């Protein structure tokens, strides 16, 4: 828990910055309908990722959602007896998403600020 929470906070901040730099200010209300709702419901917030096994295409399709890895890491740290994704995948994906989205957000922010 001592490592997953700070890494999750960094990834969440970078994800917010990425969304904020990619979406024009006049379309902010659409963020909730188009981005936040699907990310939340498909982010393993309400169920473990392994519960998607009967729907194989969805189980692997949601792996592009960074929230899956945050929730699976927190589930592994805070609960016992509940199935969760392997921590090597959780940490690897959180670091990879942080780097990838960090690059995208820095480019988007510099494009907005500089010109």
The average pLDDT across 39-65 equals 92
Of residues 101, 111, 107, the one with CA closest to residue 10: 101
Separation of alpha carbons 19 and 32, rounded Å: 11
Residue 8 pLDDT level (bands cut at 50, 70, 90): very high
Show me where the domains of the chain are located.
4-114
Question: How much is the pLDDT for 25?
Answer: 85
Question: How much is the pLDDT for 2?
Answer: 94
Q: How far is CA 31 from CA 12, 25, 55, 58, in A?
A: 15, 10, 27, 22
Question: How much is the pLDDT for 62?
Answer: 94
For residue 21, pLDDT beyond 80: yes
For residue 33, pLDDT beyond 80: yes
What are the tens digits of pLDDT across the range 54-111?
999 999 999 999 999 999 999 999 999 888 999 999 999 999 999 999 999 999 999 9
pTM, two decimal places: 0.90
Question: How much is the pLDDT for 29?
Answer: 86
For residue 9, pLDDT beyond 90: yes
């Amino acid at each position: 828990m001592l490592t997953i929470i700070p890494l999750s906070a960094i990834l969440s901040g970078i994800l917010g910055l990425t969304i904020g730099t990619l979406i024009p200010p006049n379309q902010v209300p659409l963020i909730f309908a188009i981005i936040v709702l699907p990310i939340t419901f498909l982010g393993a917030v309400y169920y473990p990722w392994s519960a998607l096994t009967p729907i194989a295409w969805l189980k692997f399709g949601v792996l592009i959602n960074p929230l899956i890895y945050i929730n699976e890491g927190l589930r592994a740290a805070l609960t016992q007896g509940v199935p969760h994704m392997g921590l090597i995948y959780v940490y690897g994906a959180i670091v990879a998403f942080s780097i990838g989205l960090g690059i995208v957000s820095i480019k988007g922010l510099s494009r907005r600020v500089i010109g």
